[in-house]
Structure 1
Amino acid sequence: MPRARPAVGYALTVGAAGLFAVNGTVSTLALQAGIPATRLTALRCTGAAVALVVALAVVSPRRLRIGWAEVPFVAAFGVIGVALTQFLYYVAIGRLPVGIALVFEMTAPVFIALYVRLVRREQVRNRMWVALLLSLSGLVLVAQVWQDGGSSDPLGVAAGLTAALCLATYYLMGERGTADRDPVALTAWSFVAAAVFWAVAAPWWDFSPSVLTEAVPISLGDLRLPVTALVSWIVLLGAVVPFWLSLAALRHLPPTTAGLVATVEPVLASGVAWLWVEQVLTGWQIAGGVVVLTGIALAQTARTAPPTVVPEAVPS
């Protein structure tokens, strides 16, 4: 077994978070170009499924073997944890600043801690309740609910929080699934399940591929790129590459530590959105984001037993 090198793990995790952060803005541009959230999710899931399956078929085809008894679990894992998480995230970033949408989605660890305490009856540290209070307080600041109706789009907030529930389900199912399955193959098949789901939910014959060839502004001077370039980034550098970086990081860091480091993503995403598309956050929203991230950090360490390694496929 290779020797763990924490510094490498930190670098890989931050690299993955950086790519996911940039992907949020790229995805926003794709949505603004006229690709519906359902279709963008289908393109991302299908592209990532093809890339992962082809890569495994070339490198280690035996790892793609799957039994019929595993199909129901993988199907539920892919539909809830991958397809719906990504779709709801796209709905959220279509209505909220990218960094704020990520803050809502990344409350997933708090839901996980609540689940293992209230449903599994596992012991958690008292800090979990402090984490929950911090996260809820931070979300109040982010949404600025004291204003008339709040400053955040209600549907965007609902989508972000529901995405957090789906992401929590992903991690909980992944914890169970990787106990006796290859995490890389499991993630590949989960993307396949997500791709099949969207092929049924949003049939490809209803999609006009001509939108992919249109050149659209990307908020970098007068530069315009075809939508195909944006989608290619979303698939390769927004899903496949950061997935491999996140997975490689788990060879050097325990998942709890990797999860804590990954909470830098909303900060990076807000910075990218501010520099690229001038999405400006208020002081209250920035403060709320910091409070939420503090709560997430506490929630990540609330379980008395460390979670099993789970595959990283965060839908940001």
Structure 2
Amino acid sequence: MPHPSPRLGYALIVLVAVLFGLNGGISRVAMGAGLSPEAFTTLRITGATLVFVAYAACFRRSALVRPRGSALLLVIALGVVGVLGLQLTYNVAIDRLPLGIALLIEYLAPVLVVLWVRFVRREDVRPRMWAAVALALVGLAVVSRVWNGLAFDGLGVVMALLAAVCFATYFLLGEHQVQLDEHGVGTDDPLRVILWAFVAATVGMNLVQPIWATPALPATTGGLGRLDGISVNPWLVIAVVVVFGTVLPFFLGMLALRHLPATIVTVVAMLEPVIAVVLGWAWFRESLTPVQVVGAVAVLAGIVLAQTSRRVELTVPAPQ
């Protein structure tokens, strides 16, 4: 393997955060064409799976070998919860909440992870875990303006919280996956893990919302928000989401993990909710009050503290 290049690793993970951050807005446009979050999730996951399989068939056929035994069960769980569950709840959340708020809530996942490993796995964690939990909860309460009642769509908030749970599950299952080298799934070939997780997610999502039941889409759809006057082909939008919002950031995330420790990668990835807040303002005219901005900063600080409080590093790139 080439000598690690931290500079390249930083560039890659920043690009991943930008792609995932932009993907939220582009996904809204796709769903605005008449797709339900369920139908859109089926198209996105199925399309990404086809690309992953095609890539593996051309360049790394070993990734097409199906995992066996407990490794297969873990891949299925990773796909159903960490891919299908995460993307479905995320798509519902961004359809009902401001982009930045949806991402802030979803990124509570590292806080859930550190609580799980502390109280369930009994792993040793750094004392700053408690400051992380406090900052995240207080910041989220400020952003949501709980003193005025819930300021946002209730179902959207629930879906964002479920996305955080799925995201945390993805990290925990993925972390367990990479410890199973003797079963054929390991850090030397994360493509195999991602490919078969997406296969499992594709099967599960097509049981929920079959791809052949996708409604007919109009020839064009509006760009929404400040771009509402621009007409685009919805299938082109979906293709952009599949390639640039799913496959490419996954691939770049894997490359970044070859050059930087996972703890650094996950902290730099915190640019994603920041980008989502800026995108929500620039594209969809969404904004936060000054007090909510302070709350958002507190949430981000809490998440960063949580991600760096574990003494065991995570090694799985994050999906959106």
TM range (shorter): over 0.9
Structure-2 change in CA distance of 1:90 and 1:67 (3 Å): closer
RMSD of aligned Cα (Å): 1.3
Secondary structure at the aligned position of 2:221 is classed as strand
Give the length in aligned residue pairs: 310
The amino acid that maps onto 2:291 is W
Runs of 4+ in 1 over 4 A off after TM superposition: none
C-alpha distance after superposition, 1:80-119 (max 9, x if no partner): 0000101001111111101110000001000000010000
In structure 2, C-alpha distance between the alignment counterparts of 1:272 and 1:248, rounded to whole Å? 26
Q: Name the CA distance, whole Å, in 1 between partners of 2:237 and 2:277.
A: 19
Q: Within the alignment, does 1:30 sit opposite 2:30 as a pair?
A: yes
Counterpart-to-counterpart distance in 2, 1:76 and 1:67: 13
> Residues 248-269 of structure 1, C-alpha deviation per residue, up to 9 Å, x if partnerless?
1111110010000000111111
Aligned equivalent of 2:13: 13
Which residue is 2:100 aligned to? Answer: 99
Q: Which amino acid aligns with 1:183?
A: P
Residue among 240, 243, 256 paired with 1:236: 243
Judge conservation of contact 1:187–1:313 (CA < 8 Å) in 2. no
Farther off after superposition, 178-187 or 275-284: 275-284
Q: Could you tell me how far apart the structure 2 residues matched to 1:38 and 1:221 are?
A: 23
Deviation at 1:207, TM superposition (A): 2.2
1:281 paired to 2:282:
no
Gaps of 5+ in 1: none
- Which position in structure 2 is the counterpart of 1:49? 49
2:123 paired residue number: 122
Partners of 1:39 and 1:82 in 2: CA distance = 15
CA distance in 1, matches of 2:145, 2:305: 23
- CA distance in 1 between counterparts of 2:228 and 2:42 reads 30
2:231 aligned residue: 224
SS at structure 2 position matched to 1:42: helix
- Distance verdict in 2 for CA 1:260–1:250, change over 3 Å: same
1:135 aligns with 2:129: no
Asked whether 1:75 is paired with 2:76, we answer yes
Q: Is the 8 A contact 2:42 2:211 kept in 1?
A: no
Q: Contact between 1:216 and 1:225, CA under 8 Å: does it hold in 2?
A: yes
- Could you tell me whether the CA contact under 8 Å between 1:144 and 1:284 is conserved in 2? no
CA distance in 2, matches of 1:313, 1:301: 16
Aligned-partner residue type, residue 199 of structure 2 = V
Matching residue's letter, 1:20: F
Matches within 5 A, 1:190-229: 190-208=197-215, 210-211=216-217, 213-219=218-224, 220=227, 222-229=229-236
Q: How big is each residue's C-alpha offset from its partner over 1:110-154, in whole Å with a ceiling of 9 and x where there is no partner?
A: 00000100000000011001100000001101111111x221111
Counterpart position of 1:112 = 113
Which residue is equivalent to 2:319?
A: 314
Structure 2 distance, partners of 1:24, 1:67, is 32
Instruction: Quote how far apart the aligned CAs of 1:275 are.
Output: 1.3
Q: Deviations over 1:55-91 (max 9, x none)?
A: 0110011222124423322111100000010100111
Contact 1:144 1:152 in 2 (8 A): no
SS in structure 2 at match of 1:190: helix
**Percent identity over paired residues:** 43
Structure 2 stretches lacking a partner, 5+ long: none
Deviation, structure 1 residue 221: 6.0
User: Partner of 1:64 in structure 2?
Assistant: 64
Deviates more, 1:268-277 or 1:42-51: 268-277
Letter in 1 for 2:114: A
SS in 1 for 2:123: coil
Counterparts in 2 of 1:147-162, with a 5 A limit? 147=148, 149-162=149-162
Q: Is the 8 A contact 1:9 1:250 kept in 2?
A: yes
Deviation (angstroms), 1:159: 0.8
Q: Which amino acid aligns with 1:306?
A: E
For each residue in 1:141-187, what CA deviation from the matched residue of structure 2 results, as whole angstroms up to 9, or x when unmatched? 1111111x221111111111111111100011001112221311110
The separation in 1 between residues aligned to 2:229 and 2:238, in whole angstroms, is 20
